[in-house]
Amino acid sequence: MASDLPMGPQLEQIHGEIRDNFRALANGFQRLDKIKDSNRQSKQLEELTGKMRECKRLIKEFDRELKDEEGRNPPEVNKQLNDEKQSMIKELNSYVALRKTYMNTLGNKRVELFDMGAGVSEPTADDNFQVASSMTNQELINAGTKTMDETDQAIQRTQKVVEQTIEVGTQTAVTLKGQTDQMGRIVNELDTINFSIKKASQLVKEIGRQVATDKCIMLFLFLIVCGVIAIIIVKIVNPKNKDIRDIPGLAPPAPSRRLLWAAEHFI
């Protein structure tokens, strides 16, 4: 019996989970025969397909754990465990074939069980079953090991891509933060310049008003000076003109001029 095989605790736990899934698959297909509604049958098949995928994942873990314990087990124990793994693969393939029968009955499209992507050239569950049926146990083990190694490599590549994406995102965030801080400083400087321009504009307006006032005063003074000069010129040209009064401080009164003339001649 498989339960009598010598296994480590981890290997035994994985083996038990695989057997539990196989029992669930057996019961699920038995219930499927009693379901008449096609929609419920399709839903039941989807659930069973999920169980098959889970079985495949567990068998892969079983094989990985088996390799870890291979060096600690005798050769005959390793052979028994490999035979048990091969038996579980064949049992899983039998459920895959059974699922194909029900899918053909329902007339639905085939759904890939061992889907490694969306490529059209990748094998479907039916192709996997046909290939597995024509292979020896050792070839099947080698093929399964190769597939699992390829899956591990794909996962590692995906992890590297994710790490690189995270690193690029972090660098981009730092760069954007620096640019945001720089833009903030530029905005502050522009606000300062705008405030300075407003103050300068107000100062220019004030100076303009003062200059306009000074121009008015200078023009008024200029007119006064021109008037005084005009009066002086008229008095010089026509000193006997009585219509123009003497400007105080520019010429003495007429009697004073006569007294000065007489004093000069007397001397």
Note the pLDDT tens digit of each residue in 85-105: 999 999 999 999 988 888 887
Residue 115 has pLDDT above 50, yes or no: no
Name every residue whose Cβ is closer than 8 Å to that of residue 52 and which is 6 or more positions away in sequence.
25, 92, 95, 96, 99, 113, 125
Say what the pLDDT of residue 1 is. 43
Q: What percent of the chain has pLDDT over 70?
A: 73
The mean per-residue pLDDT over the stretch 33-41 comes to 82
Q: What is the DSSP string of 164-207?
A: HHHHHHHHHHHHHHHHHHHHHHHHHHHHHHHHHHHHHHHHHHHH
3-class DSSP assignment, residue 69:
helix
CB atoms within 10 A of CB 54: 16
Q: pLDDT tens-digit profile of 155-175?
A: 888 888 888 888 888 888 888
Say what the pLDDT of residue 247 is. 53
Say what the pLDDT of residue 266 is. 53
Domains of the chain, by residue range, sit at: 1-114
Residue 142 has pLDDT above 50, yes or no: yes
111 in Cβ contact with 103 (< 8 Å): yes
Q: Quickly list H helices, the chain.
A: 9-34, 38-69, 75-106, 125-133, 137-237, 254-266
- Nearest C-alpha neighbor of 228 from the set 176, 53, 70, 236: 236
Q: Give the per-residue SS3 of 79-97.
A: HHHHHHHHHHHHHHHHHHH
The mean per-residue pLDDT over the stretch 122-132 comes to 47
Residue 34 has pLDDT above 80, yes or no: yes
- Residue 254's Cβ-side half-sphere holds a number of Cα atoms within 13 Å equal to 7
Of 210 and 81, the structure prediction assigns the larger pLDDT to 81
Say what the pLDDT of residue 156 is. 82
The mean per-residue pLDDT over the stretch 230-238 comes to 75
The mean per-residue pLDDT over the stretch 208-217 comes to 76
Q: pLDDT tens-digit profile of 183-206?
A: 888 878 887 777 778 776 787 787
The mean per-residue pLDDT over the stretch 64-86 comes to 87
**Gap between the terminal Cα atoms of the chain:** 171
Amino acid, res. 207: I
Say what the pLDDT of residue 128 is. 52
Q: How far apart are CA 70 and CA 64, in angstroms?
A: 10
The CATH architecture one would assign to domain 1-114 is Up-down Bundle (1.20)
